[in-house]
Chain A
Amino acid sequence: MSLAVDDLKVYYRTIRGDVRAVDGVTFGVEDGEIMGLAGESGCGKSSLGNSLVYLTGRMKYVGGDVRLDGAQLPIWDFEAMNRHRFTQISVVPQYAMSALNPTRRIGRMIAELLASRGVRFSEVEDELVRRLELVGLDGDVLRLYPIELSGGMKQRTVMVLSTLLNPSLLIADEITSALDVSTQKAVARMLVNFREHGFVKSMVVITHDISILYQVADSILVMYAGQLAEKGSAETIIHAPSHPYTRLLISSLPEVGVRYDEKKLAGIPGTPPPLLRPPEGCRFRDRCPLATARCAERPPFRQVEPGHSVACWEVAA
């Protein structure tokens, strides 16, 4: 297995207590698998993805085990993780367009970054240019300052840079959010391309936009309020979801080409529970049409068929 996460718990420190952003998450990503991580804002997907690479100041590791290619990832130890970053696990951040140092030429920054990681620029330069051309950028980009590039160009540069050392796992965090629809498609294709070329082995694509995942992902993991709701192949999740939350999520998607004159677009009524002092039991209980008394106890994330797991008493008891 490429990535194995077991009961991972990552909380945010706040003055009022711990916000339980990632509260006991277990899943795996195979070699060569592109897994989508979906859910609404605040469900913890970004926290989950980012915690695998880089714990920001407020985040604290509470428990759980993370293994990449069999070896443990010491995500609680900032310094120890450096060894793994960029080489084995890498990230394309949400803020890719402002991720490049504005006062350094791009090529120089990359050279200095590589040098600090013990890689000679001259050794990878050809490959770097080749990959840049692959995503539609000219090698000359290296001589420019970030301000001279468009947003899309900067994002593509970041994508190439993040995968330059061929990491086993790439975390792509909301990389299509700031783009228009046609560019979204292009970027999504690029991701798949990277895998085809062997630049990356597996990916976790974090997004709130499920339609992207449909184009790109092999499997989809749906999160709700810091916990897993459902995981299955893209086909299953999109066309035959089991968990009530996933079903409501999918059905609330507008279909292309359909007019919504008479039917109101139904969102999911209600709001997610606060993660500061989350309720006991299933966290979707308050908004779930199928909720029963049993849901006062947290349902386990159980496999209903090969490659498909759900956390719901009604569906997978």
Chain B
Amino acid sequence: MPDKPEAETVEIFIMGKKYEVPKGLTIMKAMEYSGYQYIRGVGCRGGFCGACATIYRLEGDYKLHTDLACQTTVQDGMYLTQLPFTPAGRKQYDLEELEVSNNPLLDLYPELARCVSCNTCTKTCPQDLEVMDFINEAIRGNIKEVAEMSFDCIQCGLCAARCPAEIPHHHVGQLARRIYGRYQAPESEHLDERVEEIKNGVFDDELEELVNLPEEELRERYENREIEA
């Protein structure tokens, strides 16, 4: 019987302690392989929830790198720690009561004015967002632009952790998106119409029929459904 081939391994350092882990694992899997059990700093495992913020250095590289543990493959000599939560003060506000005519972003987050445009936030963002640019748009009160530029933000908080001006970028982006959605984005009339139709019982009979179908027929209908391209 031929010998089982040994898996190739890499050496990584988790919070200063050395581990040999199989090559090709994500940081998250590597930590679990090493015996760590996640109760915080983990979520969707799919690069979407922002829970697994990780900070690491590589051998021979002076730069500090930041990324998501579930999306980043381990490298030999990786020296890492996790940041399961960034305490970045989210200001209390009521979206319905907000005065949006002037610059509500600056009113609620005056620390935005401390931005020195050092670009640390952009360099830190694991989603490759242009954070410094949307923060500058926030200072100018350009809510639509902030909402659009921050759309892919997953609220990992790494930007806020590194900012020398103590700006909570992810909260600012979220506020902008909420204001934009609530007050500025054009209303989708067809959505309103459809909701009215539902309220008026236009679909009640169809729904009643579906609910009362035996499982086999339901399954058949499902598999033969028309999917619009």
A binds B: no
